[in-house]
Amino acid sequence: MKLLVTGGAGYVGSVTSRLLLDAGHQVTVLDNLVTGFREAVAPDATFVEADIRDAAQVLTPGSGFDAVLHFAGLIAAGESMVKPELYWHDNVVKSLALLDAVRAAGVPRFIFSSTAAVYGNPVELPITESAVKAPTNTYGATKLTFDHALTSEAFAHNLAAVSLRYFNVAGAYISGDHEIGERHDPETHLIPIALQVAAGKREKLQLFGDDYPTIDGTCVRDYIHVEDLARAHLLALDAATAGEHRIYNLGNGNGFSNKQVAEVAREVTGTELPVEIAPRRDGDPATLVASSERAREELGWVPEKNTLQAMIGDAWTFYRKHVA
């Protein structure tokens, strides 16, 4: 297939581009490099440095793209509470402009990076796709809004749309000649920050809140290896069906508290990794754990690298060689 990957200079988009290319697809990456890195773009992909708002420059009528995989966006839940206008604009207004370009160019398939953050504080665990959607942060609200836009787009214009609701992505793609991983600057995610502490780049790991209703008072998240996640995109491309908006939760179904993550990071890195309890971060739900039964049944997706040790181990391999 001829594919347009928005956000292919970022973490999940660069790993997925690699797997798509290795499966024989033709990939064009469109990224404005606001948080991504030029060197993360797969060397055998075509690269267009542009904002998704201007995607019509690439998605011209007759350009012949078979699908758009839309990873580009702003991703920090904490920041979205401080600068909500930025998140509404970049994740909704610009994504709608991209959808206009998709429609005008007649692209038949669209795969979107949605998120567990659309659910907010769950009423029941694990979280299924039909659970109540009540985001506790602006980031989640913007992603849910675009999910709704895709539902109506599929219905009205026969698009084959798939939203993949990732839980917390971790790890790196370490395979043969390839080592592709997470680089955010500034970093806001728990695991890479723990690795910065292990590498001596930060003094200590601050854990935001220890008074949540969880096993040890710190938030609980479901971590999913980036390679398993990337594979789900290839399956979603095959399953996408004209006129339908399919939605899949992608996680392992196991919750780990922030304190447990710190403990495994200590084990994997063999360092002391000092931890300090800090105030809660606005907008954080207490617990997010996925039911991915639908993805298993309908896509045949089975996560393989499902231990925190494997995820933090691969992230540490990448971090020491390419980031530290």
Ligand X SMILES: O=c1ccn([C@@H]2O[C@H](COP(=O)(O)OP(=O)(O)O[C@H]3O[C@H](CO)[C@@H](O)[C@H](O)[C@H]3O)[C@@H](O)[C@H]2O)c(=O)[nH]1
Ligand Y SMILES: NC(=O)c1ccc[n+]([C@@H]2O[C@H](COP(=O)([O-])OP(=O)(O)OC[C@H]3O[C@@H](n4cnc5c(N)ncnc54)[C@H](O)[C@@H]3O)[C@@H](O)[C@H]2O)c1
Residues near ligand Y, by CB under 6 A: 6-7, 9-13, 31-36, 51-52, 71-73, 75, 90, 94, 113, 115, 166, 168-169, 184
Closest CA to 292 of 242, 243, 215, 235: 235
Nearer to ligand X, 132 or 156 (CB): 132
Q: What is the dihedral of CA 145, 148, 153, 156, to 10 degrees?
A: -140
- Minimal distance, residue 272 CB to ligand Y, in Å: 26
Q: What is residue 223's three-state secondary structure?
A: strand
Q: Which does 288 bind (CB under 5 to 8 A by kind): ligand Y, ligand X, none?
A: ligand X
Contacts of 250 (CB under 8 A, 6+ apart): 164, 165, 166, 167, 224, 228, 229, 232, 290, 292, 295, 301, 303
Instruction: Output the smallest distance, CB 270 to ligand Y, in A.
Output: 25
Q: Report the residue number, 119 or 173, with the smaller CB distance to ligand X.
A: 119
**Does the active-site annotation cover 223?**
no
> How many Å apart are CA 112 and CA 128, to the nearest integer?
18
Among 189, 76, 237, 53, CA closest to 142: 76
Q: State the catalytic residue, choosing from 139, 166, 223, 319.
A: 139
Considering the complex, state which of residue 190 and residue 273 has its C-beta at the smaller distance from ligand Y: 190
Provide, rounded to whole angstroms, the least separation between the CB of residue 143 and ligand Y: 6
Question: Nearer to ligand Y by C-beta: 73 or 303?
Answer: 73
Minimum CB separation of residue 170 from ligand Y in Å reads 7
- Helical pair 190-198 and 308-318, crossing angle rounded to 10 deg: 60
Task: State the binding partner of 219 from ligand Y, ligand X, none, CB within 5 to 8 A by kind.
Answer: ligand X
Binding site partner of 206, from ligand X, ligand Y, none, Cβ cut-off 5-8 A by kind: ligand X
Active site residues: 139
